[in-house]
Chains A and B, each alone.
Chain A
């Protein structure tokens, strides 16, 4: 399966009477976007705002972050969610508006929505402090049930991103990269001397409101399966879960999965990247046992020499991580884990809820309990009302001037456990 990914660099977003991309600026027709969002009768109000890197702006509570993309060679983006599930997923040509994002914001659904600061100390920890963000602030109808509200918010973001992506359809991209993974025997034969490496991709599926979606299928309902990496670049996986903000693998991060990106960089040089084994993190022990067995079986069947495993979230998913590690290692496949740590504010407690002897190699994505001072910002997109209840905050952590202290956990994707960031933790 072969995908051409064209990146159109976006340096700014501006409101205009026509939605289009011109000279690296994304012009957005505000009314059209608001109308699109309000097609959903669950939502009462919608307004748009733009946040740029360096602004004294805080965005919270953030639900999801999405990069606008469009399929230019047939097929549709976000198959099973927005687009149809067509054979073009992961093939042909896709354009991305690189450097800009759609950020959905609004009254809190759970505790699990986070903060993006566009400047100040927290900006060092958040990938979306460096992108130009179109914030879609939604207001649900009174008394809306939380699951219904979550879905409305999720769909609003996907719809806006799809709409904006269309603006890149006929624009010549600044870069054009090709990613290809062949069917298993051909791929194995392509680099017979290189070690065969796979990626075990664990999706959060704890049933916190909703879950991650695979071609529109709720992630807790599938059994482990094989994916071509390029399918994920076309939006076959969409975030819909509520997890601690720092750990949230946003829809943006599925497009830009760092393990997939970096394995393609090594592909043909020192590894033969064979593809993705997709699995989940369910709340029943029998599921955990069955699915880790199946992951190990797939790794063996693909003839892999090595595997990278990432998780989403912490706590009981650490058990899935360790079960996958142990069982894959027992098949004679070498494993390296990528995850983040939660050793308490003082860093003195255990980093993980579960461990196993086979976990001899682990790349750390930082510790999420460390605290940080968040200065007051000139502008807040959304509301600061929930900071004390959001994960990472505590009662009394907010000062009257709008500054506050909180754990890194409260920042969207700050310690994301798929290895996207340079943040790491070490023993002192």
Chain B
């Protein structure tokens, strides 16, 4: 799906827990998800903190979308 969309020239940030699969299928901008049952957030830490985690990850996604990449890039940290 990532490639199908990106070939129209739209930047796609793939937020996925299983980064190896994301790399295999060919996503170019990748942000590791928290876990398969909850990629954006961590409900085991309570709703408030879970939402904070989600917001930080979405901010990182926006930043990744504004960042030029040469090839497949995994954005592991907020600072890049």
Contacts and interface: CB of A to CB of B under 8 A. Distances in A.
Answer whether A and B touch in the complex at a CB cut-off of 8 Å.
yes
Interface of A: 206-207, 283-285, 288, 316, 318-319, 322-323, 353-355
B45 interface: no
A420 to B, nearest CB: 26
Interface residues of B, number: 10
Interface stretch (B7-15, B19-27, B51-59, B60-68): B19-27
B17 A285 contact: yes
A108 B25 CA distance: 33
B37 A285 contact: no
A206 B21 contact: no
Contacts of A319: 18, 20-21
B17 A354 contact: no
Contact of B36 (A283, A323, A353, A354): A283
B35 interface: yes
Q: Which 4 pairs show the lowest CB-CB distances between chains A and B?
A: A283-B36, A316-B18, A319-B20, A284-B35
Contacts, number: 32
B24 A285 contact: no
Contacts of A353: 21, 24
22 contacts: A206-B36, A207-B37, A283-B17, A283-B36, A284-B17, A284-B35, A284-B36, A285-B17, A285-B19, A285-B32, A288-B20, A316-B21, A316-B36, A318-B21, A319-B20, A319-B21, A322-B20, A353-B21, A353-B24, A354-B18, A354-B21, A355-B24
Contacts of B35: 283-284
A283 B21 CA distance: 13
A354 B37 contact: no
A33 B32 CA distance: 50
B49 to A, nearest CB: 17
B42 to A, nearest CB: 11
A242 to B, nearest CB: 13
Contacts of B37: 207, 283
Contacts of B21: 316, 318-319, 353-354
A288 B17 CA distance: 11
Contacts of A318: 21
Contacts of B32: 285
A285 B32 CA distance: 9
A322 B18 CA distance: 12
Contacts of B17: 283-285, 316
Contacts of B36: 206, 283-284, 316
A191 B18 CA distance: 41
Contacts of A322: 20
Nearest to A316: B18
B53 to A, nearest CB: 14
B34 to A, nearest CB: 8
Nearest to A350: B25
A244 to B, nearest CB: 16
A317 to B, nearest CB: 10
Interface in B27-48: 32, 35-37
A283 B18 CA distance: 8
Nearest to A318: B21
A328 to B, nearest CB: 16
Contacts of A206: 36
Nearest to B33: A285
A213 to B, nearest CB: 20
Contacts of B19: 285
Contacts of A323: 20
A319 B25 CA distance: 12
Contacts of B20: 288, 319, 322-323, 354
Nearest to B23: A354
